[in-house]
Structure 1
């Protein structure tokens, strides 16, 4: 895995981070609803925060992470980007994070391995397991930090859907969007893009694939990521 990933308007250095640039983060950053104040939970390299800053030119974007090296990496990537004056990084957990103002949008590519064998790399284990950020904590603290008309957007593997929906319901959230994502058109859906609101509205659903035959990008994926991929 290379230590640097170049997008159209910014570059991601990732030599200090356990979790590298991946499809999940790119999908979420290109898809999630924004606003004037955006919070990226578990920012890692800062990829999603940078994508949101690019998509929403008037937004102030704050990223938080409990891993010190990740914060240093995100800070480096923020400062080298054209959006540096609208980006902030905080070395803290979501549970301890405080903000005087609520956010229009919250985005999170959450740790999703529950009760599974830990990776011997402690940094990668922290990034990938729910021990440090349970789904309950994600929704409970997002409810605290999100404006009444704000939106929380996440990306998860399909197998976590039932638990996610349960935790969101008990925290007062309603599902507003579901995008079921296949890697290839004739394969099973593996991941979900989900959006939540404090308001009870009808859920929009979409079924998409990233690639057609012969590794050709689908029109949906191409249109979604055209502003980012070289």
Structure 2
């Protein structure tokens, strides 16, 4: 899920500079990538209430949603890995929206049992590999493998935490999105939006962005092509990310 962010983006040694904030990620197992940026730019942001970012990592999606939402919206960012959560806290403090963001170092199952909050929007860039080849570090394994947070558990926690009319949005590799959707439907979710991401028009989708609700309804399916024929970023990709990337 985590790719290099747009090459034109200004890169510091330890993070990325966006139009309104900087994200350090040198202490995070998984770095800032295109998946998180697409999700943070795409999700429908509520105008009031609370937002939850499950597995926030460096806090990139949290900060993007803070930039996009009015001051009346507060955001809770939950991260199980201690170093990543510390870095998310530092990124929060350095941002213009520190007073609206709370970073919690906890696993989502424990958080779910301890909080009374209910959320208008829940977002997640979740683990997506089944346990397999060893990662270089335990922290990277936690970020990458569904062993640390299964999709069943993620959906179950989201069910408990979401407001009745709320939305749950995720980004996943295309090869696991169908299984995720099947699991979600078995738990009573409806898939309401599905954005298939292709690197080029002739390629196959490699990522899917999904919006789920507990309210039944039709699914709106669209495709986003990242690059035009000449290799430059497409009009649609630029339009989606222009409020964040410096040179879009």
Task: Please indicate the TM-score interval, normalised by the length of the shorter structure.
Answer: over 0.9
Q: Look up the SS of the partner of 1:127 in the other structure.
A: helix
User: Structure 1 residue 223: deviation in Å?
Assistant: 0.8
Between 24-33 and 182-191, report the one with greater CA deviation: 182-191
Structure 2, unmatched stretches of 5+, are 5-12
2:125 corresponds in structure 1 to 109
Q: Look up the SS of the partner of 1:112 in the other structure.
A: coil
User: Structure 1 residue 215: deviation in Å?
Assistant: 2.4
User: Structure 1 residue 210: deviation in Å?
Assistant: 0.8
String of CA shifts for 1:143-199, please: whole Å, max 9, x gaps. 000000000000000110222012111221100000011012221110100000000
Between the aligned partners of 2:148 and 2:16, the Cα distance in structure 1 is 27
Q: Look up the SS of the partner of 1:69 in the other structure.
A: helix
Contact conserved, 1:143 with 1:172, CA < 8 A, in 2? no
Between 115-124 and 97-106, report the one with greater CA deviation: 115-124
**Structure-1-length-normalised TM-score:** 0.97
Between 213-222 and 75-84, report the one with greater CA deviation: 213-222
1:74 aligns with 2:88: yes
Question: Over aligned residues, Cα RMSD in angstroms?
Answer: 1.1
Runs of 4+ in 1 over 3 A off after TM superposition: none
User: Structure 1 residue 132: deviation in Å?
Assistant: 1.2
Between the aligned partners of 2:187 and 2:108, the Cα distance in structure 1 is 15
**Structure-2-length-normalised TM-score:** 0.90
1:28 aligns with 2:39: yes
Q: Look up the SS of the partner of 1:164 in the other structure.
A: helix
1:223 corresponds in structure 2 to 239
Contact conserved, 1:42 with 1:63, CA < 8 A, in 2? yes
User: Structure 1 residue 55: deviation in Å?
Assistant: 0.5
User: Structure 1 residue 118: deviation in Å?
Assistant: 2.4
Between 189-198 and 214-223, report the one with greater CA deviation: 214-223
Q: Look up the SS of the partner of 2:35 in the other structure.
A: helix
Aligned residues between the structures: 230
Structure 1, unmatched stretches of 5+, are none
Between the aligned partners of 2:119 and 2:52, the Cα distance in structure 1 is 7
2:184 corresponds in structure 1 to 168
User: Structure 1 residue 122: deviation in Å?
Assistant: 1.2
